[in-house]
Copies of this chain bind each other. A is one copy, B any other.
Amino acid sequence: MRIVLDAMGGDYAPEVVVEGGVWAARELEVEVILVGQEEAVRQELEKHDTSGLSLPIVHASQVIEMTDKPAQAVKAKKDSSMVVGMDLVKKGEAQAFVSAGNSGGVMVAALFRLGRMKGIQRPALSAILPALKEPICILDVGANTDCKPEYLLQFAIMGNVYMERVLGIEKPRVGIVSTGEEEGKGSQLVLEAYQLLKGSGLNFIGNVEGKDVLFGLAQVVVTDGFTGNVMVKLTEGAAGLLGEVIEEEIKRSPLTALGGLLAKPAFRRVKKRLDYSEYGGAPLLGVNGVVIVGHGRSNAKAIKNAVRMAKQTVEGGMTEAIKGEIERRVEGERRG
């Protein structure tokens, strides 16, 4: 399998990205195509032992920066690693695209170069988060800040396919984020989407409140891209805040500091369990190809895991499965 890795994307690119790419090529036995400024990428590659690995470089002279405006940048920078990389997928020279760069840029490049799937109204960015016992999929987390009820139904369908095909969870519980558990609670958008989900044939469990989301009440958590984006970032912030406050308080006395020292392995395990980098990325669902958006602050492990997510997504036959599901539903509607 061939996976494109945007070597210029991410806060620590190209250094850390190339490191993650080498790691992925070795561990996952895939070909990792590094797209980016050839000289810079080659210099990074030379720092690693790459014997026996397939890590071709494809040159792209431009870089879409984190601060660039997505649509403008994608149009203007035709020789950027994102655009060149996406085109490799479009031409069938690679099966997936991974980037930890400007996430808006990745989404726009995917839309412009790969295109929206037939029948899909809006692609959705899906965060895979660690819940108490098993991962949950929240979508949309930022591709669409303003949504219609029909989009949310499609997000649910795509999330459902992803959980079944890629994570092997049969008939995942699907819920919609709202302000109360009972039917009838929530915004106008939620009330309307609720009705669509109720009649969708999915394993719909109804509304999920903010306090229950991370406990895995629903495995596919559907929401608009504004709320979803705020939720995912707030979770990150809450964990960060709690971590900081715990550290401060533990250091406040010698005895608690000793306790903290002894408990360190436990904290390390907590971090590992709740670490986004264990998942590595957010699949963009609903475009014609496998696209994984990594966290801007991705370290090498997160990059490696993002490539693994891409590999699993290709192996799960995601794109075809979503296409099939959408066609089946359109066909079903036509027949009444």
Residues of B within 8 A of A188 (CB): 145-146
Minimum Cβ distance to chain B for residue A260 (Å): 5
Residues of B within 8 A of A264 (CB): 256, 259
Q: Are B256 and A179 in contact, CB atoms less than 8 angstroms apart?
A: no
Q: Are A210 and B229 in contact, CB atoms less than 8 angstroms apart?
A: yes
Q: Are B239 and A242 in contact, CB atoms less than 8 angstroms apart?
A: yes
Q: Is A187 an interface residue (CB 8 A)?
A: yes
Taken together as a complex, chains A and B put the C-alpha atoms of A249 and B260 apart, in Å, by: 13
Residues of B within 8 A of A238 (CB): 214, 234-235, 238-239, 242
Set B145, B232, B246, B273: member contacting A187, Cβ < 8 A? B145
How many of chain A's residues touch chain B, expressed as a range?
35 or more
Residues of B within 8 A of A226 (CB): 179, 186-187, 190, 227
Interface secondary structure of A, over-half rule: helix
Q: Are A214 and B241 in contact, CB atoms less than 8 angstroms apart?
A: yes
Residues of B within 8 A of A142 (CB): 179
Q: Is A137 an interface residue (CB 8 A)?
A: no
Q: Are A230 and B215 in contact, CB atoms less than 8 angstroms apart?
A: no
Taken together as a complex, chains A and B put the C-alpha atoms of A188 and B255 apart, in Å, by: 52
Give the residue among A187, A249, A252, A266 with the most B Cβ atoms within 10 A. Answer: A266
Q: Are A242 and B244 in contact, CB atoms less than 8 angstroms apart?
A: no
Q: Do A253 and B266 contact each other (CB < 8 Å), given the known contacts A146-B188, A177-B230, A233-B209?
A: yes
Q: Is A132 an interface residue (CB 8 A)?
A: yes
For this chain, the copies found in one complex come to: 2
Residues of B within 8 A of A273 (CB): 245, 249
Residues of B within 8 A of A230 (CB): 177-179, 209-210, 227, 230-231
Give the residue among A190, A227, A231 with the most B Cβ atoms within 10 A. Answer: A227
Q: Tell me the chain A residues, 205-253 only, with Cβ under 8 Å from chain B.
A: 209-215, 225-227, 229-242, 244-246, 249-250, 252-253
Q: Are A263 and B260 in contact, CB atoms less than 8 angstroms apart?
A: yes
Complex interface bits, A175-201 against B, C-beta within 8 A gives 1, otherwise 0 = 001110000001110100000000000
Closest 5 CB pairs of A and B: A259-B262, A210-B233, A259-B263, A210-B234, A238-B238
Q: List 24 A-B contacts (CB under 8 A).
A: A145-B188, A178-B230, A179-B225, A187-B226, A209-B230, A210-B230, A210-B234, A210-B237, A211-B236, A214-B241, A230-B230, A234-B234, A235-B238, A238-B242, A242-B242, A242-B270, A242-B274, A249-B266, A256-B264, A258-B262, A259-B259, A259-B261, A260-B263, A263-B263
